[in-house]
């Protein structure tokens, strides 16, 4: 019987939506450059108005960079989930299951306290197959770490 267990990635490993991140980063730079250029090239604007164009461009670029921030990092001690504005550190024992169902915008971590934590670092948006592979790898890590924790003697 062939072994169907996925290979566990070497720790530490970081999962992030690479293509989405690249698109958002390029858009942030282009948005900043375009809006700032328009503000500088328009005739009849004062210094304050030109500065407001640049600050607006900076604000929009900042939002795009914020959208490119999500990631999930797994190491020996546990998992760190970085979403848009929050970061949460979880021990392996706190994670019960990793879910990425068809139609989900990102993976969800079912936690031992009965809640579910969205993990925006694994999202099928532009790269669906990559997100599925990442979710399976994280699920395998959670299962392996849970099994290892169950086997450790408690004294």
Each residue's pLDDT tens digit, 118-145: 999 999 988 899 999 999 999 999 999 8
- Report d(CA 135, CA 21) in Å as an integer: 18
What are the φ/ψ torsions at residue 122 (nearest 5 degrees)? -120, 100
Work out the average pLDDT over 46-60: 97
Give pLDDT, residue 149. Answer: 64
Transcribe 107-119 into DSSP letters: EEEEETTS-EEEE
Q: How confident is the model at residue 116 (pLDDT cuts 50, 70, 90)?
A: very high
Give pLDDT, residue 50. Answer: 96
- Report d(CA 104, CA 77) in Å as an integer: 27
How much is the mean pLDDT over the chain? 91
Beta bridge partners of 91: 78
Nearest-CA neighbor of 24 among 72, 84, 65, 83?
65
Work out the average pLDDT over 110-122: 97
Work out the average pLDDT over 79-102: 96
Each residue's pLDDT tens digit, 62-90: 999 999 999 999 999 999 999 999 999 99
The sheet carrying 13-15 orders its strands as: 13-15, 71-74, 78-82, 87-91
């Amino acid at each position: 019987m062939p072994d169907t267990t996925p290979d566990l990635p070497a720790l530490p490993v970081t999962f992030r939506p690479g293509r989405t991140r690249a698109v958002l980063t390029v858009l942030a730079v282009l948005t900043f450059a375009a809006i700032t250029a328009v503000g500088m090239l328009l005739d009849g604007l004062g210094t304050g108005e030109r500065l407001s164009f640049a600050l607006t461009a900076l604000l929009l670029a900042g939002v795009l960079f914020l959208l490119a921030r999500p990631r999930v990092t797994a190491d020996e001690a546990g998992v760190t989930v970085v979403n848009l504005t929050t970061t949460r550190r979880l021990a392996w024992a706190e994670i019960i299951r990793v879910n990425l169902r068809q139609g989900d915008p990102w993976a969800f971590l079912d936690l031992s306290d009965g809640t579910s934590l969205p993990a925006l670092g694994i999202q099928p948006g532009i790269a669906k197959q990559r997100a599925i592979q990442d979710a399976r790898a994280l699920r395998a890590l959670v299962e392996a770490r849970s099994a290892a924790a169950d086997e450790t003697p408690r004294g």
